[in-house]
A and B are shown apart, each in its own frame.
Chain A
Amino acid sequence: MKMQEYQGKELLAKYGVPVPKGQVADTPEEAAEAARALGGVAVVKAQVLAGGRGKAGGVKVTKTPEDAQAFAASILGKELYFEQAKGNLQIDRVLVEEALSIAKEYYIGITTDRGSQRNVFIVSSQGGMDIEEVAHSHPDAIGRLPVDPFLGVRDFDIRRVAQQGGIPAAEIKDLAPFLKKLYQAYVDSDATLAEINPLVVTTDGKFIAGDAKISIDDSALYRHPELAVYAETSEETDEYEKEAHRRGINNYVHLGGNIGIIGNGAGLVMGTMDEVKRAGGEPADFLDIGGGAKAELVKNSLELVLSDPNVKGVIFNIFGGITRGDEVAKGIIAGTESVKVTVPIVVRLAGTNAAEGLAILKGTDLIPAETMQEAAQKIVSLVGSD
């Protein structure tokens, strides 16, 4: 679950990580009031998940409560174009914050790293810009610190990573508590990413989180009832991806071709895409029903894929381990009964309970295939001959 900036800052504040004073506002009047409470001058920031809010025109420093109100009125309820999301997103809420007196901007991130199998801090004195660009242009300006889960963050680790990241030794006494509190917030909340960019060093030497980008591990949400209030807002801009979200289909990507692809397991679905492309077809989507899918999800998936008018044929590629062929077959039948099917559907069923599944599909209009390659060639030739 990705959290919006104000949500991330609320979470960080609970752990004592310093964040700017501020308040969210859903109306221009509330924005004016929040600015007044801050003494007039404020920063008004659109609250959406997409990055590049400044470029999209969603952030402004305002001098008076009236300015804050006017700017909020100009974006609330409106759509802004976000380059990163490649689409428009509606602004429903703004964060009104104190304007910090900035001396320096650093970068602090923490994420869980495949390679070291640990939570790893990324620390750099080059904050305020895209960290991937920094990694590219100044690779020696980045410190990395894998944290041993049995030891936590130790002071000597912090001294070393600060040195690698180009942060002056004199500031370690301010950096250390910031990193330790951030680590606690990260681990306790089951985060998968916490990015503070910029970490603002104010002119009076304080460390304050200027922004907060936090993602929580969806698999751990069950043990965080306190995060339920932050239920994720959609960042999808694609019509079919929004619909997939509504139907509870988590692994769908709309690709725009004419052959709908449904399979079990991300690797196999990608492999099916590769095979369809090689046979001369263009995948309309990537849809992974996951492991152990029940008939209802299969039915839902077929309905979603068929709702795209560009789809001229569908390929089901199921190689069951934990997924059972009979369960998938029941779902396919249910899907073909609930919507009018006018395009060919090729079904390849193998693995666990495949024989039971094929028995269920016997006597229907569904076109069987023995292998993935054969399935891809069949669907492409059928769609091509239309």
Chain B
Amino acid sequence: MSILVDENTKVVVSGITGGEGAFHSALMQDYGTQVVAGVKPGGGGTVTERGVPIFDTVAEAVEKTGANAQFVVVGPRFAADSIIEGAAAGIDLIVCITEFIPVQEMVTAVRFVKSQGTTRLVGPNCPGILTAGKGKIGIIPPSSFTPGSVGVVSRSGTLCYEIVDALTRAGIGQTTAVGIGGDPILGSTFVDILPLFEADPETKAVVLVGEIGGADEEIAAEYIKTMTKPVVGFIGGRSAPPGKRMGHAGAIVSGTSGSAQGKVDALNAVGVAVAETSSDVPGLIRQALARVGVTV
């Protein structure tokens, strides 16, 4: 077990013939992921260099290959449409890494995805999902991963890699890492992913990687109260001066709302230890696991 992605996941890639699409689809295959189809409008009937069949539409790819997950790696002008296409085709899991999709397009796309009921969207502007040793959808570099028992869910892509790297260096393996993305309108937030880790028998503890801005961590804290598994937190930007914009659309500190301290307090209040820097995460995870009788 693990969450969302494993060796049985069958991926259709929207944008498989683009530069990033071809490069990262090949890396996904190298990691053992089943990439069963690609979509390029007008390219139907051909195959990629790596022998993946190409279709004109996602619906056709699903029908012919049984794809149940979609990797969206098309440009920002086309990505919302690809997401809606995947949801309309009945895809279970859509991962969209595209950055700079117009926000209003995402308001419509997320509304549609949720109206479909069965489709889960992760992203956009996210690194994707990687299950250690089993498969990945997206751009997460696999070299730092090692199979184990810790789940990671992160707003920031690169901080997610950093924390996985720190865990592995400390000899602590992972189940699945999920990057939920840095955009204002997201398909999944912490509270959508945490229940999956809670239900996954292989995952024994979870690292929640937040950052300044928004209220997602505070909302997650409410859910964590109900979890049986220990959660360790890290909030990027604790040293960021208030009132400064730090890049992510979501990462805005203004006064107390959205501040790192507010998030740390909310997490501490529900028993979540929050690491001061990412290199402190493995130690806190080890302590948290020891409290529930797991030694790593």
Contacts and interface: CB of A to CB of B under 8 A. Distances in A.
Interface of A: 112, 114-115, 117-119, 132, 148-150, 187, 190, 192, 217-220, 222-223, 251, 253, 255, 263-271, 273-275, 277-278, 283, 286, 288, 290-292, 319-322, 350-352, 354, 371-373
A265 B277 contact: no
Contact of A372 (B138, B216, B279): B279
A268 B139 CA distance: 16
A56 B263 CA distance: 35
Nearest to A348: B162
B88 to A, nearest CB: 15
A324 to B, nearest CB: 9
Contact of B158 (A119, A187, A263): A263
A83 to B, nearest CB: 12
User: What are the 10 A-B residue pairs with the smallest beta carbon separation, nearest first?
Assistant: A267-B156, A265-B158, A266-B247, A268-B158, A270-B237, A220-B102, A267-B159, A351-B141, A251-B247, A321-B139
B107 A350 contact: no
A117 B157 CA distance: 21
Contacts of A274: 236-239, 276-278
A322 B211 CA distance: 20
A266 to B, nearest CB: 3
Nearest to A355: B143
Given A263-B158, A321-B161, A350-B165, A271 B104 contact: no
Nearest to A222: B77
Interface in B82-122: 97, 99-105, 107-108, 110-111, 115
Nearest to A255: B241
B173 interface: no
A344 to B, nearest CB: 21
Given A149-B107, A266-B251, 10 more contacts: A117-B111, A117-B186, A118-B107, A190-B104, A223-B102, A266-B236, A274-B278, A278-B277, A321-B157, A371-B166
A286 B140 contact: no
A192 B102 CA distance: 10
B279 A219 contact: no
B139 A283 contact: no
If over half of A's interface residues share one DSSP class (helix, strand or loop), that class is named, otherwise mixed; here it is mixed
B157 A265 contact: yes
26 contacts: A112-B184, A114-B216, A150-B115, A192-B184, A219-B101, A220-B104, A251-B246, A253-B246, A266-B246, A267-B159, A267-B251, A270-B159, A270-B212, A270-B237, A270-B246, A271-B234, A271-B277, A273-B239, A277-B239, A286-B247, A288-B246, A322-B20, A352-B27, A352-B139, A354-B141, A371-B165
B20 to A, nearest CB: 7
A118 B105 CA distance: 11
Most buried by B among A267, A291, A371, A372: A267
Q: How large is the interface on B (under 10, 10 to 19, 20 to 34, 35 or more residues)?
A: 35 or more
Contacts of A278: 276-277
A108 B245 CA distance: 25
Contacts of B236: 266-268, 270-271, 274
B287 to A, nearest CB: 19
A113 to B, nearest CB: 8
A148 B111 contact: yes
Nearest to A263: B158
Interface in B1-54: 20, 24, 27
B209 interface: yes
Contacts of A354: 141, 143
B20 A267 contact: no
Given A266-B156, A266-B251, A351-B161, A273 B237 contact: yes
B155 interface: yes
Interface in B191-228: 209, 211-212, 214-216, 219
B190 to A, nearest CB: 12
Most buried by B among A119, A268, A322, A352: A322
B211 A267 contact: yes
Most buried by A among B101, B144, B278: B278
Nearest to A291: B99
B176 to A, nearest CB: 16
Contacts of B141: 319-321, 350-352, 354
Interface string B226-258: 000000001011111100111110110001000
B240 A270 contact: yes
B64 interface: no
Given A319-B165, A372-B279, A220 B103 contact: yes
B135 interface: no
A247 B107 CA distance: 32
Nearest to A191: B104
